[in-house]
Amino acid sequence: MHIRGLFTKIWAYTGIIVVSVVIVFLFAFVFWKGGSTITWEFLSTPPAGLVLGSEGGILPAITGSLAFTLTAIVIGAVPAISTALYLVFFCKSRRMESMIHLVIQCIAGIPSIVLGLFSYSLFVRDLNFGRCILSSGIALGIMVLPFIEVRAEKTFRELNPAMIQSAYALGCNKTHTILTVVLPACRGELFSGIILGGCYAMGATAPMIFTGAVAFASNPTSLFEPAMALPLHLYLLVAQGHTSLDMAYGTAFVMMAVILISNVLVTMYARRRQREWKQ
């Protein structure tokens, strides 16, 4: 028995070490390769050059990615959090609950390229939105919906039921209780779920390529125009081969930095809220 315990321990530690090393190596590699490309000019000018992107910067790709992500978050988070609220606080029928869970799981299982195709045929073609941020945002929103819903639902279920029932026991109705107790109490976790969903959307390319992301565009000004996006730009740079490889690493650097920084900020925010209100 003792030996088995030891073995498990070694197994676990090896696992942790391997995973950490891989992650650290990945980040270090990208930051090292891309770091030298990062200049103020790279971050603040549009791409240029005979082979597009071999010179200049990636500004419209950054702003474009932010626009796609923001749209996706809004479109995904509102129904996701509403669904979670419904399931936890309103749904009385187990059958309904498992049906909704099934639907959510199905959405989570849809390959993102299929979401892109769906959005392309419905919004870009049939509804005539054209290739634009909104069309992509919807596809990305559907993609992150299950991601955010699962986290939100978990947060709501982990909330001590006695806290909610305390509000009911004062005679408050559900809507009021949700708005004034549940949402404020879960704000940190909800916020972090949404931002992590945003990071997920920011890295996804497939739902955008037919629907709104293009090789070159200026900074986005409206939901109804196409825009550049970091992951697609990265893909195109790599596809061009040697000429733009440094730029590709630079782009990857920016993307990972944005995601890493968002993650750290969100974790800090959630922690601080926790500390502020709990022991």
Partner 1 sequence: METIMNTESIGTEEYVARSAGTEAAMRVRELSVSYDNKETLHKITTEFPKHCITSIIGPSGCGKTTMLLSLNDLIREIQGVKVEGEILLGDKRTDAIPQEELRRRVGLVFQTPMPFPFSVYKNLTYAPRYYGNHNKKDLDRIVKEKLALVGLYDEIKTDLNKSALKFSGGQQQRICIARALTVEPDILLLDEPCSALDVRSISVIEETLLRLKSQYTIIIVTHNIAQARRLSDKVIFLKDGRLIEEGDAAGLFREPKEAETREFLRGIYG
**Binding-site ranges for partner 1 (CB under 8 A):** 92, 94, 160, 162-163, 165-173, 176, 180-181, 184-185, 276-279
Q: Residue 105 or 165: which CB sits closer to partner 1?
A: 165
3-class DSSP state for residue 217?
coil
Closest approach, Cβ 100 to partner 1, in A, equals 14
Q: Residue 126 or 276: which CB sits closer to partner 1?
A: 276
Closest approach, Cβ 12 to partner 1, in A, equals 34
Closest approach, Cβ 38 to partner 1, in A, equals 41
3-class DSSP state for residue 57?
coil
Q: Residue 73 or 164: which CB sits closer to partner 1?
A: 164
Spatial contact of 207 and 115, defined as CB atoms under 8 Å apart: yes
Q: Residue 33 or 101: which CB sits closer to partner 1?
A: 101
Count CB neighbours of 102 within 10 A: 10
- DSSP secondary structure of 220-250: --STTS-B--HHHHHHHHHHT-GGGHHHHHH
Kindly state the tokens that stand for 69: 């992500």
Closest approach, Cβ 170 to partner 1, in A, equals 4
Spatial contact of 228 and 216, defined as CB atoms under 8 Å apart: yes
Closest approach, Cβ 167 to partner 1, in A, equals 7
Any idea which residue has 């782009």 for tokens? Answer: 251
Q: Residue 33 or 187: which CB sits closer to partner 1?
A: 187
